[in-house]
Structure 1
């Protein structure tokens, strides 16, 4: 699947920069944002297929960012990333419309498969 646009939202710049490079090498178009407010500004100016969203961030956390994304861009699929498996937060994010979640650090190949699956779902729902 070509031309998948991914937005990585995490307040750990080193993590998002490294992950963006890995995704770019696998043929995905990755953009980074350091938090929810910046991500929403970026999304208002450019289309994305999939968002990878960290749950724990300074400022606007992942749950509030997910809520804003789903209000403003409901067609975009969101994969939540968390370093700590908190069942309540995961269930809450899935109920709010997240596509799925992965534990950090996620295996890059598994992450790519999840992104491709989410992009396929977005595109099939857009038809």
Structure 2
């Protein structure tokens, strides 16, 4: 099996670009989107195996993106990575089909282990 493609979705450009570099060094292919709308557009042309998704973004938020992905691309696993979530958010997104939920800052080894468990 080839490398896993991971789509990282976060409006904090510096954070998500750094995360992409660090995940790429762990032998993943990474794509980056800076908005929910951009992520949904990218999925149509290059569907990832795993999406790491921020909840709080301008425009289309993570909950809306998760809902669309789970309705239209059931083969994509979605991990929520947020700096602003709480237990209600965690319960909501897990009930909606998210494969994982982590608070920022996340330990990279923990995130990579979760991604590996989904392939």
Question: Could you tell me the TM-score, scaled by structure 2's length?
Answer: 0.95
Contact 2:5-2:48 at 8 Å conserved across structures? yes
Q: In structure 2, what is the Cα distance between the partners aligned to 1:46 and 1:118?
A: 18
3-state SS in 2 of match to 1:11: coil
Alignment of 1:68 onto 2:68:
yes
3-state SS in 1 of match to 2:118: helix
Which residue number in structure 2 is paired with residue 122 of structure 1?
A: none
Tell me the C-alpha RMSD between the 2 structures. Answer: 1.2
Which residue number in structure 2 is paired with residue 89 of structure 1?
A: 89
Which residue number in structure 2 is paired with residue 37 of structure 1?
A: 37
In structure 2, list runs of 5 or more residues that go unmatched: none
Q: In structure 1, what is the Cα distance between the partners aligned to 2:47 and 2:31?
A: 11
In structure 1, list runs of 5 or more residues that go unmatched: 120-127
3-state SS in 2 of match to 1:105: coil
Q: In structure 2, what is the Cα distance between the partners aligned to 1:53 and 1:61?
A: 9
4+ residue runs over 6 A deviation: none
Alignment of 1:48 onto 2:40:
no
Which residue number in structure 1 is paired with residue 13 of structure 2?
A: 13
3-state SS in 2 of match to 1:84: coil
Measured after TM superposition, the shift of residue 113 of structure 1 is 0.4
